[in-house]
Amino acid sequence: MPELHIIGTPHSNFTWTTRIVCIEKGVPCIFEARRPHTPEVKSISPFGLIPVLRHGDVQLFESRAICTYIDRAFQGPSLVPSDPVQAAFTEQWVSTTTTSIDSLLMRRYVLKHATPGTPDDKPDQATINIALSAMPAHFSMLDRAVSSGYLVGDTFTLADAYLVPILFFMTKLPESAAMLAKSTSLQNYLGCHLKRESIRDTAPSEDYEASPAYYTRWGRQR
């Protein structure tokens, strides 16, 4: 049986999600820390983006495709409910998280602090300010959505595996941390799931706690 390799950086929220899925499914995987656009990544992803997967002859890019493969190719509890309604809700939240939520909270907020692309390499405050004006509505929506302790039903699903890493990064910057502190259900949800084995054992190293930019410096894409 070939070994399954996840390739990316530990600071990419989408790479982190694929590693969470491996542990939830009980699938051993070898994690290879590689930055985007490195030869190992570009040999699989035509865009040079992380994460990518290699499992024998199977090579995949895009985190959703990787998660689908892991979920269906191996035995173990599925992270997508069998009930069609619950499955649809799971896909709804996965889609929303990988597009709207990630776009605002990670791309237009966290990464504009960490990798702003400005001439002086200082945070892109104009883009950050626009993001900050939209973020309270997202936090309010998510606070309501996780009031039961999960995004879907009463069990951990792929939707949670996508959301928790993003919320983790929200604790690393002052404005988002303040919003999270005011969102009782969301804060409780994050605190509970950060103790989950699959999340705890794959979290970015806390050795760099003093430098929030470290967690996202190498970027990603889904």
- Look at residue 108 and tell me if it is in a domain: yes
- Tens of pLDDT along 65-88? 999 999 999 999 999 999 999 999
Beta-carbon contacts of 172 under 8 Å, excluding residues fewer than 6 positions away, are 110, 212, 215
H helices of the chain, in order, are 13-25, 39-42, 63-73, 84-96, 111-114, 125-145, 158-170, 174-181, 184-193, 197-200
CATH code: domain of residue 33: 3.40.30.10
67 and 102 share a domain?
no
106 and 203 share a domain?
yes
34 and 94 share a domain?
no
- Residue 175 has, within 13 A of its CA and on its CB side, a CA count of 14
- What are phi and psi for residue 61, nearest 5 degrees? -125, 170
Residue 1: predicted pLDDT: 74
- Look at residue 195 and tell me if it is in a domain: yes
92 and 58 share a domain?
no
- Look at residue 163 and tell me if it is in a domain: yes
110 and 207 share a domain?
yes
pLDDT band at 206 (very low <50, low <70, confident <90, very high): low
- Residue 61 has, within 13 A of its CA and on its CB side, a CA count of 16
CATH code: domain of residue 118: 1.20.1050.10
Query: Do β-strands 4-8 and 52-55 pair in parallel, antiparallel, or remain unpaired?
Result: antiparallel
Residue 91: predicted pLDDT: 98
**36: closest CA among 50, 46, 53?**
50
φ/ψ region of 103 (left if φ > 0, alpha if ψ in -120 to 50, else beta) reads: alpha
pLDDT of 211 above 70: no
- Tens of pLDDT along 175-189? 999 999 999 999 999
Residue 60: predicted pLDDT: 98
pLDDT band at 208 (very low <50, low <70, confident <90, very high): very low
Alpha carbons 150 and 120: distance in angstroms, whole number? 41
pLDDT of 34 above 80: yes
Beta-carbon contacts of 121 under 8 Å, excluding residues fewer than 6 positions away, are none
Beta-carbon contacts of 56 under 8 Å, excluding residues fewer than 6 positions away, are 2
- The count of structural domains within the chain is 2
- Tens of pLDDT along 41-61? 999 999 999 999 999 999 999
Residue 210: predicted pLDDT: 36
93 and 161 share a domain?
yes
**Residue ranges making up the domain that contains 38:** 4-73
Say which amino acid occupies 45. Answer: S
**Number of neighbours of residue 211 by Cβ within 10 angstroms:** 11
